[in-house]
Amino acid sequence: MKRSIQGISLVLASMLVFDGTSRGQSLPAQGQDKPHVVSLAELSKDSLQVAQTRHADEEAVRNLFSNEDGQKALKSAHLDYQRVDKAVSQLSDEDLARLARRSRQAEADFAAGRLSNGSAILIVALIAATIILVTVFVQLNHS
């Protein structure tokens, strides 16, 4: 009696599972019966915007070091431009965005005459040192 109940249960279960597939129909995959919340186009657009923002932030920071005052600041702080440039690409998006804001503000202040040459050089040196320290700290944490 116990075996016949198990056999009937097995037959019923297989009928439920294979009911649609025996006639060439497939069972819907879990989660595919609902439309996607975010389209592929939106994801692509968002990732492109993130990449463009990062590129603009990297350029803002690098621009601060590439001009004559930036080069003087790096030399006075005994920092190598190549090392700073390499470190910029290793910064997290958040750290890079923060330093890009400071770089843009420093350039705007200097252009408007609100900073002296000495102050601008000091700010550039501090930003460069911050970049190197952040990347060294990140590398130490990953080791």
What is the pLDDT averaged over residues 11-24?
A: 44
pLDDT at residue 101, rounded to an integer = 94
pLDDT at residue 32, rounded to an integer = 54
Q: Residue 141 — very low, low, confident or very high, per pLDDT cuts 50/70/90?
A: confident
Q: Which range is least confidently modeled, 34-38, 44-48, 94-98?
A: 34-38
- Pick the residue with more confidence: 101 or 136? 101
Indicate whether 48 belongs to any domain.
Answer: yes
Indicate whether 67 belongs to any domain.
Answer: yes
Q: Inter-axis angle of helices 68-76 and 40-66, to 10 degrees? A: 70
Indicate whether 33 belongs to any domain.
Answer: no
Indicate whether 13 belongs to any domain.
Answer: no
Q: Is residue 24 predicted with pLDDT exceeding 60?
A: no
Domain count of the fold of the chain: 1
Indicate whether 71 belongs to any domain.
Answer: yes
Q: Which residue has the tokens 């009937």?
A: 8
Element (H, E) at 79: none
Indicate whether 113 belongs to any domain.
Answer: yes
pLDDT at residue 93, rounded to an integer = 93
Indicate whether 126 belongs to any domain.
Answer: yes
Q: Is residue 57 predicted with pLDDT exceeding 90?
A: yes
3-class state of residue 91 by DSSP: coil
> Phi-psi bin for 116: left (phi > 0), alpha (psi -120 to 50), beta?
beta
Those residues with Cβ within 8 angstroms of residue 131's Cβ, 6 or more apart along the chain or in another chain: 61, 84, 87, 88, 91, 99
DSSP secondary structure string for all residues of 9-41: HHHHHHHHHHTTGGGT--PPPTTTTS--SS-HH
Q: 0.75 cut: is pTM over it? A: no
The span from the CA of 117 to the CA of 100, in Å, is: 20
Q: Residue 36 — very low, low, confident or very high, per pLDDT cuts 50/70/90?
A: low
Average pLDDT, the chain: 76
Segments forming the whole domain that contains residue 114: 38-142
